[in-house]
Amino acid sequence: MCGFAGFLDRSENTSAEDLAVIAGRMAATLVHRGPDDGGVWTDAFSGLALGHRRLSILDLSVAGHQPMLSRGGRYVVAFNGEIYNHLDLRRELDRGGAVPDHPLFDTPAEAFATQAGTGWRGHSDTETLLAAVETWGVGEALKRCVGMFAFALWDRHDRVLYLARDRLGEKPLYYGWQDGMLLFGSELKAFKPHPAFKAEIDRSALSLLLRYGYIPAPYTIYQGIRKLPPGTFIALSARRQDGVPVSYWSAHDVALRGQMQPFAGTEAEAVETLDGLLRQAVAGQMLADVPLGAFLSGGFDSSTVVALMQAQSSRPVRTFSIGFHETGYNEAEHAKAVAAHLGTDHTELYVTPEQAMAVIPNLPTLYDEPFADSSQIPTFLVSQLARGQVTVSLSGDGGDEVFCGYTRYPSAASVWRRIGYVPPPLRGAVAALATVVPPHFWDALFRGVGFALPGGLRAATPGDKLRKLALLLRARQPEEVYRELVSQWKEPARVVRGATEPGTVLDDPAQWPRLREFEHRMMFLDTVSYLPDDILVKVDRAAMGVSLETRVPLLDHRVVEFAWSLPASMKLRDGVGKWPLRQVLYRYVPKELMDRPKMGFGVPIDQWLRGPLKDWAGALLDRKRLKQEGYFNPALVHEKWTQHLAGRRDWSYYLWDVLMFQAWREANP
C-alpha cells in the first residue's frame, strides 16, 4: 500500500531538477500513505515526473523501492496496492522466459542487480507487474492480475503514460489536464503543490454530493479533474490529450454474463464452491511481511472473513472492534462473542462521544474532497485502533453489494410491486395531493385522529412519510424508486447556486445491464457507484490516514463473478439477504451466535447536532455566512437546520452533506 503522484509537462521544457523538486513536493503530501520510503524518477526529455511514497508490505528491502524500472528498462512504474497472485504470475513468467536478459536503455547496472540464481531483483509484486507488462502488454497484464491497485506506468519507448485502476475500485486514482500539464495522483491533496493546479470548485459536482453524500466517478469537487473509473486504464501523452478510459473488466458485462450463464449446480454445491473461493481469496490476502489482522464488527461479512482467516492460520488472528455506549450503535458485544468462539486475539475499545467527535476536525484532511458518510468516524477509529498492533487489516466490506445484503433491496422491490401496477396518471394525481399540502398539516391531522388509527399507522412524522411516498409514486420505472431511496437532497441543484446536476450511471438506462430481477439491478448500481465512491473511499482514506493497509477479500473479482452467476432467489430468502454467505459462515460459527437484526456502522449524528455539535454546526450554517460564500441557498439550508434543532424533523443526513463541504472548504481555502 502506497501513494504516488506526478505530472506530464506538455511543454517538455522543464529541467530534470525542477521536475524532481515538484514531484517530490507532490509525493510528500502523501507521506501518510507511505511513511517508510520515498522516491522520485524523471524523464526530462519527455517532461515526465513520478513521485512515490511507500508503506512496505512485501519485500521490505531496497529491492522494493519505487518508482521502479522494469528489468528491460522500457517501463517505470509508481504502484499503489497489492497483487495477490504475483507469485503465480512469477512462476508463469519464469516458465515462458519472460524476463529480458539485457536492458533496452542505458540504465545504471545497479538498477538491475538480481538475486543469486534468479532473474528477479527481489520478491515485490511491483517487480512482477513490470515483468508482466513487458511480456504481455498493459491490458493483458491487468487481466491476469488478482488484486487491488492503482498505478502510473511510463513507457519510455513510446513516451506514453498509462494510468490504471483495479476492477472494483479499491484504490483511488485522480487525473486531469491543467495549463498544459497532466496531473495525476492517489489523492487530490497531491495536486496542490503543482503550480499549474487550479482549485476551482465544480458546483455541479457539489450538487451530486448533496444528493448522494459522495461525489460519483468520474466527477470530483474540482473542475477539470476526474476519477479514473474502476476496471479501466487510460493511455495519455503530451501529444495526445484525448485518451479515454479502456475497460479491461466490466461490472456490467460480469452481471449480464452471470445471469445469462447461471451456476448449474445445487444449492449445496454453490455453498461449497463459495467456501472454496472465499478461502482462496482470504489466503491470498494474508500474504504479508508485516503484522496482519482484521476488523471484526460481529456482522456476517467481517465474521466470515475472520473465520476463514483463523481456519487457515496456525496462530490466533488479531481482530479489532470498537463499541459505543449509545443504544442502537454498538456491535462490540457481538464481535467479542464471535472472537471468543473463533479463538482470535481480540482487542476492543469503547469510544466516548468526546473521542468520536474529536475526529471531526480531521475529516477535511483525511477526505480531501468533501465526503459525507458519517460512518467515516467509527471507520477511522477502528483503523487507528488496529494500527497500534498491525500494518495490514482485512475488512468485510462488499458483502452487501455482492450478496444482496442491504435492506433497501427487498424494500424497494416491495414498494414497486405495490405501486407499479397503478396507472401513472393516477399515481401522479395522488402524489400531487400529498405534496400540495405541507407536511406539518398532515402531522397535525394524524395527531388529531391518531387515537383511531392502528398502531402501524401512527408514524412520528406522517407528513415526511407521505412526501417520500409521493416521490416514489412519481417513479416511471423501478430504478427511479431506487434512486429516490438513495437520494438525500431531492433537488440539489436548487440548493447549490449556479449548479446543474450532471448525469451519472444512476440515471442513465443506457449503462444498465438488462437484468430480470429488480434486486439485481439495484445491486449492480450499488456496485458501480455506492461501493467504489462511498464505501471503499471511506475505508481507504480512514485507514491510510494512519498508514494502515486494508484488504477486502469479498471483492476478489472471482468471488464477485461467481456471486453474479447465482439467482437472486439464492441470495435473498424471505426478505433476508446473503443466504450463501450465511451458509458458509455457519460452517465456522454457530447460527444462534449470528442471527440478529442487521445493524449499521454509524454514530448518532442526529443527536450530536442538537447537542455537543450544535455550536460548530451553527457557525458553519450561519445564514449570513452562506449568503456571503455563495455556494448554497441560505433559506433552504436554514429551514432544515431550524427544524432539526426543534426536533420536528431528522435532517441530519441532509445537514451533514452541507457541513462536510463547509468544513472541507474552510480547511481547503
Is residue 393 a contact partner of residue 292, using CB atoms and an 8 Å limit?
yes
Q: Is residue 404 annotated as a catalytic residue, yes or no?
A: no
Which strands make up the sheet holding 75-83, listed edge to edge? Answer: 68-69, 75-83, 147-155, 160-165, 232-236, 246-247
Q: How far is residue 655's CA from residue 657's CA, in Å, rounded to a whole number?
A: 5
Active-site hit among 1, 2, 356, 563: 2
Q: Using only C-alpha atoms, what is the Rg of the chain?
A: 26
The three grid cell numbers given for residue 490, joined into one nine-digit string: 431531492
Residue 38 among known ligand-binding residues: no
Is residue 189 a contact partner of residue 33, using CB atoms and an 8 Å limit?
no
Q: Indicate the Cα dihedral angle 337, 341, 347, 350, nearest 10°.
A: 0
Q: Which of 78, 77, 75, 86 is nearest to 34 (CA)?
A: 78
Residue 322 among known ligand-binding residues: yes
The three grid cell numbers given for residue 157, joined into one nine-digit string: 519507448
Is residue 41 a contact partner of residue 152, using CB atoms and an 8 Å limit?
no
Burial class for 110, CB neighbours closer than 10 Å (0-12, 13-18, 19+): exposed
Contacts of 179 (CB under 8 A, 6+ apart): 196, 198
Angle value at C-alpha 144, between 138 and 146, nearest 5 degrees:
115
| DSSP, residue by residue, 66-89 | SSEE-TTSSEEEEEEEEETTHHHH
Residue 657 among known ligand-binding residues: no
Question: For helices 557-564 and 251-260, what crossing angle results, to 10°?
Answer: 40
Is residue 346 a contact partner of residue 339, using CB atoms and an 8 Å limit?
yes
Residue 395 among known ligand-binding residues: yes
Task: Please say whether the dihedral angle defined by the alpha carbons of residues 552, 254, 4 and 103, taken in this order, is positive or negative.
Answer: positive
The partner residues of 393 in beta bridges, in order of sequence, read 293, 550
Cα-to-chain-centroid distance, residue 532: 4
Amino acid letter, residue 508: D
Identify the H or E element spanning 653: helix 652-667
Per the annotation, binding residues are 125, 322, 395-396
The catalytic site residues sit at 2
Per the annotation, binding residues for ATP are 322, 395-396
Per the annotation, binding residues for L-glutamine are 125
